[in-house]
Structure 1
């Protein structure tokens, strides 16, 4: 019969008891290999391209040939480039409208799936999560088919009801509105999962006490749910903001920044400048400006999060 390690050694009478601690196994080899792999991949696909982008932003590089250092000329040109400001401004407009819509939609779906009295939650969970499984390119094609002016399903329904087809593709505001709804539809599932986890961590006793005090459903939601999920809300807003500021594939497939370039977002501007016009140095400077803007937004939201937690 096995005995504990402390009883295997019997000391003499009066002698101090010395128990040799068991050696804990150390898996330093696999840990170093896995950590080293992550660091190598991060350096290869994130750090090195960032360093190259910063280097190119100070040159007139066109994607081929030697690098010609021109200092801050690319940045001074960006400061007076109306096309850059138009793309950046349209990106801010898109973000300001799409982030609240995505937040409300994902929170609404999460509340519906965590409601104890709701029926058919399993089927709804699958339906809600399906858009997340579709690539942004496919999402853009789907919504382009839905809102096409001459072949779109929505205009077909409007015509059958006796109305006039809407200029979804030739009107800049309507075209941007379609992109906003498409992005909210496509990205709501992931944020819904974050909200579901947060809602399930809210103590049920708080709702029971509020109900006994006569609070209705809306008052319980506003006074208990919203404050309880504030950290998750800030995280979702941060992720949505970062994602919308970098939107490219969806709008590229849906309307290609049209009509014309009126809905060209900042990442599309960088892509067109760098690859279509072969102005890699100038596009790199624009990407560095976007990086600074995203870092500033992230720092502001992190500061707000820390202040709300204190």
Structure 2
């Protein structure tokens, strides 16, 4: 009997040990999988941090250093302190270029916003037909390089060889001075930038409009609200986050406009439509004054940061209200 009891006790202990061992192995498996799930995001985050440091932080730090030197693109830069910033503060051309850039931004942002929102409302309307084809047509300009777009529109609006002036003269009118009149040249820049930049903002608005619950609009319609009232009272307030994003991105893009203007009219006539990035380009590469151009770039970066902070504060106040 004692022998039988001892055998049964050993078998019970053995089975208990086996159970504990299995439980320990089961407990270890999630640790391996959890480690795997932790390492994968860290690898992706590390890659993003490396790219951010390589293509943003390092060039930014290098530009900041150059802004305090007399670097010309070759040789060893010599530290000159804040002399570039002092010269920049006394440069009337810089203020003229900055004012023209701000004017272009003030005119461009509302045009981009209205065009993108209007097209998005049309393409999400239940009464519209051929929406798939229309989306492709409206999205094509965003796929074209800004330089190519500038060249195409330059051919269309050339004073002596452009298609638009040719059609105007065929109808008995006089061709417009798209290249020699500063104001008409600015109007042309606004047209081309709106044509090329509307597509991306349109997609943002389309996605936001589709996320609006249809029950809100149906309830408003049952209460007697017309189309304009439903848009102004329901759709537009619900599009506020997307509107803020569109305005912020469009503002920053307008302040940094370069390639399209360079290909369209080179900032002309003369320097009347030269924007701040063109001014930086000409100063740094054509005049070989990289230090001075770097100082102008730092000033532009500060202006963009201030604009972004103001818009963020304004959006936050609206959310709290």
TM-score, with length taken from structure 1: 0.92
Partner of 2:223: 213
State the structure with more CA Rg. 2
Instruction: List alignment gaps of at least 5 residues for structure 1.
Output: 1-9, 12-17
Name the CA distance, whole Å, in 2 between partners of 1:302 and 1:239.
12
Cα deviation for residue 190 of structure 1 reads: 0.5
**Paired residues for 1:68-217 under 5 Å:** 68-217=78-227
In structure 2, what is the equivalent of residue 237 of structure 1?
247
**Superposition CA RMSD, Å:** 1.6
Corresponding residue number in structure 2 for 1:4 = none
1:274 partnered with 2:284: yes
> How far does the alpha carbon of each residue in 1:101-126 deviate from its partner, in whole angstroms, 9 at most, with x for none?
01111111111111011101011010
**Correspondence for 2:54 among 44, 61, 70:** 44
Partners of 1:120 and 1:67 in 2: CA distance? 60
How many residues align structurally? 296
* 1:176-219 deviation per Cα after TM superposition (whole angstroms, max 9, x unaligned): 11011100110111001100111011111111111112111111
Moved over 4 A (4+): 18-22
Deviation of 1:29 (Å): 4.2
Partner of 2:6: none
What CA deviation, in whole Å up to 9, does each residue of 1:223-245 have, x standing for no partner? 11110101100100000000000
Structure 1 equivalent of residue 30 of structure 2: 23
**Counterpart for residue 12 of structure 2:** none
Larger relative helix fraction: 2
Which whole-Å deviations, capped at 9, do the CAs of 1:235-281 have from their partners, x for residues lacking one? 00000000000000000000000001110000000000000000000
Structure 2: give runs of 5+ residues left out of the alignment. 1-14, 17-22
Please give the secondary structure, in 2, of the residue aligned with 1:233: helix
1:61 is aligned to 2:71 = yes
